[in-house]
Chain A
Amino acid sequence: MNFAPLRRAGVYVFLSLAAFISVFPFYWMAVGSTNQSVDIVRGKLGFGGNLLVNFQHLMSQVDLYRVFGNSFLIAIISTVLTLAISSLAGYGFEMFRSRIRERIFELLLLLLSIPFAALMVPLFVMISRAQLTNTFTAVILPGIASIFMIFYFRQATKAFPRELRDAARVDGLKEWQIFLYVYMPTMRSTYAAATIIVFMNAWNNYLWPLIVLQTPDNKTITLVISTLTAAYTPDYGVILLTTVLATAPTLIIFFVLQRQFVQGMLGAVK
């Protein structure tokens, strides 16, 4: 008896089912954005004609341009600063070895597993004492120095040939010039992968903005979704339309840069 074809069929059924479950909510989200809330709650599976109405309802409740602008601004500034600070540190830890810095790095690795929940209370008190609540600075600043990203860049730097730095020194470059003109261009794909991850995390960030952003003016897209969802009678048509809008940027990045996306997710593990 040969069970191989049977087993092979089983694998396909298993994977197909899993793939269906993974993808179905995306379909649900797309369909929902075109339907009325009552239909969504009743589980309507086909596209409807309510997209424009949902959009108008959404626009009447929130300043969508402003919200998107806020989210983009926060995500872009966070990404640029996080990459700069973390890659400098990762490069520094790997290229310039000293016993003290090695100890500091080990300490950072220990801190890596401390959840944000343990930090949010004192951080909030700090931010409010500095009178920074309701500012983007408050959202961005605490997340810039990411231990995970420092670790990621240090690991990636291990693949950066030391002789390249030596060659640049012989060629007359200062250390910061080596970083700028040799390291950064050489590590483009590392930066690309990191950009995707940091941007996505900043774009999707919820808890910390929820704590420090309390005026409607500077709300981000994630805060809008949660406000809409928490309503006494949530309008699911509007909510699902908003989730489509919120997911679109990361979804586009994923499909355009799939390889770097996955590489970034794998991050420091290799």
Chain B
Amino acid sequence: MTSLSLKGIRKSYGTLPVIKGVDLTIDSREFVVFVGPSGCGKSTLLRMIAGLESITAGDLEIGGKRMNDVDPSKRGIAMVFQSYALYPHMTVRDNMGFALRFAGKPKDEIARQVAEAARILELGPLLDRLPGQLSGGQRQRVAIGRAIVRHPDVFLFDEPLSNLDAELRVHMRIELARLHRELQATIIYVTHDQVEAMTLADKIVVLREGEVSQVGTPLQLYDDPDNLFVAGFIGSPKMNFLAGEVVDSGAGSATIALVNHGGVRLTKPLGGRLPQKGERITIGIRPEHFGEAGEGTDIVLNVDVAEHLGSTTYVYANAGGEQLIIEREERHMGDTDTLAVSISPEAALLFDSAGKRLR
């Protein structure tokens, strides 16, 4: 199998830069997800790997060979498109065998490959139908089948689930994970949905405005984000952010006053750079990491709404102009107007005014 490497990859349309220098290695058999908000350049980056968009600067290597100027069909990749892009005038069978036909493969081999892919994806009964006669989920499977038939080194997926309804999306997600295990293939997958990224990826690449914001496993990104953007983007419901100000700093720890909560203080041990006294800080804490009152730095919140989901309860609350979400395990919150919770130093993540994490 094949690894990929991107070195200083850039792309601009005229003078407008859209990819501003991406360095990345993708190992063989890895399931890598590019995730980010729309316009972050994730699809462009994927299309550059596919050879559908030109690379303005930098080197793209697939399997150790420089591929910048190689035709898409000769890069050892296959792609599944957002709209599936099935040829509407061809049967499922012909759609899947089309690339092999143009690669000059003999008829019986094409038939064998198509049958094999149809078996894996359970498409057998649909082979003689036209794409127009298929449901969304079936088209999706045909699009994947068309990729499988070519035995590519790398599979590229461009937001493949975004045209499916919620239920089917969950189903296809599991299907894709199974396929990855079965095919032992390298997969690069683009999505704007961080849940898809979290559930599918071995490695997530968070992109923002044409730059890599952070690379890591799903749990690394969740537990240990490098910056405010990743912290806010990964996780649902979102991480809470509270404004703070450094009141004391030194000897491997900083003490922060929560300015919107009566200036209560929190002391956090830090291994790296220590912030200056008076510096503005953002404190991040995940909804499930709030403790019971009395266990750490306490804050009192006004409850807006409590959502009972059965296994957990999300409490939407505010204090000092900050909206917060707290996850609680008890099923019945009762009709309280206020809620006291605590923030422990271990659960609190600190970010400086540039959004960079303080560790």
Contact = CB atoms under 8 A, between A and B. Distances in A.
Q: Do chains A and B touch in the complex (CB under 8 A)?
A: yes
A163 B86 CA distance: 9
Given A171-B98, A172-B102, A177-B102, A166 B79 contact: yes
A161 interface: yes
Given A182-B87, A186-B88, A172 B73 contact: yes
Nearest to B143: A167
Interface of A: 161, 163-164, 166-173, 177, 182, 185-186, 188
A172 B99 contact: yes
Interface residues of B, number: 24
B79 A167 contact: yes
A169 B87 CA distance: 13
B85 interface: yes
A41 B115 CA distance: 73
Interface in B191-238: none
Contacts of A164: 85, 87
A53 to B, nearest CB: 51
Given A161-B83, A170-B72, A171-B146, 18 more contacts: A163-B83, A166-B79, A166-B81, A167-B81, A167-B85, A167-B146, A169-B72, A170-B50, A170-B51, A171-B99, A172-B71, A172-B73, A172-B99, A177-B102, A182-B87, A185-B89, A186-B87, A188-B89
B73 A169 contact: yes
Nearest to B52: A166
A186 B85 CA distance: 12
Interface in B38-79: 47, 50-52, 71-74, 77-79
24 contacts: A161-B83, A161-B85, A163-B82, A163-B85, A164-B87, A166-B50, A166-B52, A167-B81, A167-B87, A169-B71, A170-B72, A170-B78, A170-B79, A170-B99, A171-B98, A171-B99, A172-B72, A172-B102, A172-B103, A173-B73, A173-B102, A185-B89, A186-B87, A188-B89
Nearest to A184: B89
Contact of B85 (A166, A173, A177, A185): A166
Contacts, number: 58
A159 B119 CA distance: 33
A171 B103 CA distance: 8
Contacts of A161: 83, 85
A164 B77 CA distance: 16
Nearest to A169: B72
Contacts of A172: 71-74, 99, 102-103
A57 B75 CA distance: 72
A167 B158 CA distance: 12
A143 B206 CA distance: 55
B113 to A, nearest CB: 13
Closest 6 CB pairs of A and B: A172-B73, A171-B99, A163-B85, A167-B85, A185-B89, A163-B81
Contacts of A169: 51-52, 71-73
Contacts of B99: 170-172
A75 B112 CA distance: 47
Contacts of A163: 81-83, 85
A177 B103 CA distance: 13
A186 B102 CA distance: 18
A169 B47 CA distance: 12
Interface in B117-161: 146
Contacts of A167: 79, 81, 85-87, 146
A38 B37 CA distance: 81
Contacts of A168: 87, 98
Interface in B152-207: none
Contacts of B82: 163
Contacts of A166: 47, 50, 52, 79, 81, 85
A172 B82 CA distance: 19
Nearest to B79: A170
B42 to A, nearest CB: 16
Contacts of A188: 89
Given A166-B85, A185-B89, A186-B88, A171 B102 contact: yes
Contact of A170 (B73, B86, B87, B88): B73
